[in-house]
Amino acid sequence: MSVSAELVKKLREISGAPMLECKKALEEAGGDQEKAFTILRKRGQALAAKKAGRVTSEGVVGSYIHAGGKMGVLIEVNCESDFVARNEEFQQLVHDLAMQVCATDPRFIRKDDVTEEVLQREKEILKEQATASGKPEAVLDRIVEGRLGKFYEEACLYEQHFIKDTTGAMTIGELIASKIAKFGENITVRRFARFKVGEGMPSA
């Protein structure tokens, strides 16, 4: 089937994928924009997975200061070439990631970064909560596993929903994957620091 140029343009705006990719995805999805978007995201992630092993020693250190200096974030985002690091869209990505960290206060970058200790403590808490609410023993583990997904979504930057994405469907991992697909380079968040004035101070 053929799809209208308008639909292609709209999907391009949402996904940031190249025109031709958008057209193909829309054709494959029979003109359904949402399905086409899902196809593009899967393609992006597949491409990102392919690039995942590649060394990223270039990049940008960016910052975001919130509320007149009451909170701030410093972040290092790496890519493969200085050429990409200088690209305005890459720098926008760095800015968006710094803002995301400022707003959501993740404790880890990726799922893999969650330490065994934190994971075990979280599991215990979730199990206790489920027991306390009267869930039967037999389903406890399944419930804990389910709620653990929620924990990852909150605690790990890559699992979080991208706050600037109005559809609410795109995670940070997917956002980064889409940029990897676009630039054809591996992109990784290496580290961040988040300071809030007075946070963690002993009260006077």
Angle between helices 88-104 and 172-183 (to 10 degrees): 170
Q: How far is the CB of 203 from a copy of itself (least distance, A)?
A: 8
Q: What tokens does 77 get?
A: 């985002």
Residue 201 CB, nearest distance to a copy of itself (Å)? 6
Nearer to a copy of itself, 149 or 200 (CB): 200
Closer by beta carbon to a copy of itself, 3 or else 157: 157
Q: How many CB atoms lie within 10 A of CB 171?
A: 18
Task: Rank residues 55 and 132 by Cβ distance to a copy of itself and give the closer one.
Answer: 55
For the beta carbon of residue 1, count every other beta carbon within 10 angstroms: 8
CB of 64 to a copy of itself, least distance (A): 8
Q: Which residues bind a copy of itself (CB under 8 A)?
A: 55, 57-63, 65, 68-76, 78, 85-86, 91, 94, 191, 193, 195-198, 201, 204
Strands ordered across the beta sheet of 58-66: 58-66, 71-79, 188-196
- Residue 198 CB, shortest distance to a copy of itself, in Å, is 5
Q: Which is nearer to a copy of itself, 76 or 122 (CB)?
A: 76
**Three-class DSSP category at 113:** helix
Helices (H), the chain: 5-15, 19-28, 33-51, 82-85, 88-104, 116-132, 140-155, 172-183
CB of 187 to a copy of itself, least distance (A): 13
Strand partners, 161: 171
